[in-house]
Amino acid sequence: NAGVTQTPKFQVLKTGQSMTLQCAQDMNHEYMSWYRQDPGMGLRLIHYSVGAGITDQGEVPNGYNVSRSTTEDFPLRLLSAAPSQTSVYFCASTRGRRETQYFGPGTRLLVL
């Protein structure tokens, strides 16, 4: 199993550009989540999904969209990038609510 994979590893955007961060897992996990991590802020939940076709907002959803058309994939879309979205983004998946999350390696995003 590859576990949780994320692409790209690093991306530089200009303000106003859009892009999609990819996340995939091959463990047949129901739950998938996107987090951003900023210095001194810990991990903050952006959006999450409890199964294919179901998504919900987390703590900091503004400026991001998600979809879950398959169990395996959970892409995160930045509609119009802003410098405040400069961060490290982690995708995670878990089999059930009480179980540990498996994290992807992260995507470092810089918005100029």
Question: Binding residues for another protein, per CB under 8 A?
Answer: 33, 35, 40-45, 48, 50, 56, 58-59, 90, 92, 94, 97-106
Site of tokens 């405040």: 84
For another protein, which is the closer residue by CB, 14 or 62?
Answer: 62
d(CA 73, CA 4): 10
CB of 16 to another protein, least distance (A): 29
Query: How far is the C-alpha of 82 from the C-alpha of 99, rounded, in Å?
Result: 34
Interatomic CA distance for residues 80 and 101, integer angstroms: 29
Based on CB atoms, which residue is closest to another protein, 40 or 62? 40
Three-class secondary structure of residue 64 per DSSP: strand
Output the smallest distance, CB 81 to another protein, in A: 22
Question: From the CB of 48, what's the least distance to another protein, in Å?
Answer: 6
Spatial CA neighbour of 4 closest among 105, 108, 104: 104
Q: Which is nearer to another protein, 14 or 42 (CB)?
A: 42
- Return the number of other C-beta atoms located less than 10 Å from residue 82's C-beta: 14
C-beta of 61 vs 75, nearer to another protein: 61
* In the complex, least distance from residue 42 CB atom to another protein, rounded to whole angstroms: 4
